[in-house]
Amino acid sequence: MTGRAPVAVVMGTRPEAIKLAGLVTGLGDDALVVHTGQHYDAQLWENVQADLPGMHVDEHIHCGGRSRGEQIGMATSEMTRFLSSRDIRAVVVQGDTNSTLAGALAANALGLPLVHVEAGLRSGDRRMPEEINRILVDTLADLCCAPVERNANQLIQERVTPDRIVITGNTLWDAMAMIRPTPQGTAQALDSLNVPPGDYVLATIHRAGTVSDTERLVGLLDGLDALAEQAEVVFPVHPRTSAAIAEAGLSGRWQRIHMVQPLPPSQFMALEAGATLLVSDSGGVQEEACFLRRPLLVLRDSTERPELLDGWCRLLGDQDPAVAIDRAWADARQWGADLAIRQLPYPGESASSVIAAEINRRWPA
């Protein structure tokens, strides 16, 4: 750390770390990284740091394993205490997690400038805790970093003044430049998991709204299990999903699905890059699939990234999961070929550099 006033970069989950890695690198010694502990086990956190060059943590707050309200309250309190003890020139949060909201509330409580990376995303579904988090954080932010023009227009509709908005592109571009999935990496990842080479599906299910609904979770896994009769289905199991399956007494029900432990980002992206089809309820996977030009069935009713509904991904909606998954698999090869020649909806440049420059311009050290 230099003698200059640092920029606090708050993160709590694996996707936040991935999408903020380029900014942490860009800020250099000025980055003061605070980890809330929302993700805290080896698979979801420690392996992430090892995969991201330059990623470090300066302060740990242990708020993981609690309810949403408890996480937000504890993380806000502990971050307020920590940030008040330092000469901070700005606070950066990313996305829509509990940690994002807690960092925003702490910055607001202390009167510190707040920067929201990935601002202006909206699904229109207020049942999702993430949607509420996004709206609240954008309301508080002094600088809203919108990935694309659509997001900036959304903020303007919500009466965020233009001087608080900058269109930056997507910081995932920087993370993928660091990790760089390759065909060799895909082959090594498959071999390490004892998955034969050839066509395969990579699937993830982790969102609280999906996992907490046992009937919905069972329907999704039954659909994947049916597809596994004709294709290899690789399924890294999130700890929340694993716990839900065990609590429902359903462990061992889906024998045809190749279930594995959560994977480090580099290994997971290598598998994404080689997959014939992706099936996921993740927001981050939507963007990764786009940059990697892989077909994706989104296991949700809505998305906060509507720019990707123009052929880049499909929503499950109220369709029967088994039917939708089977149809996506049938279309996947031609779908992937079509994506290979399309123009990406995100700028192919470093969003992290744009954000770092904007922070330094507005709040010099």
171 residue type, one letter: T
**Cα–Cα distance measured from residue 334 to residue 338, given in angstroms and rounded to the nearest whole number:** 6
Q: For residue 356, give both structure tokens.
A: 């770092």
Answer for the pair 293, 269: CB distance below 8 angstroms, yes or no. no
Q: CB neighbours (10 Å) of residue 37?
A: 21
Of 126, 130, 173, the residue nearest 148 (C-alpha): 173
Instruction: Please return the burial class of 288, using the count of CB atoms within 10 Å of its CB with bins 0-12, 13-18 and 19+.
Output: buried
Of 31, 164, 150, the residue nearest 90 (C-alpha): 31
**Active-site positions?**
206
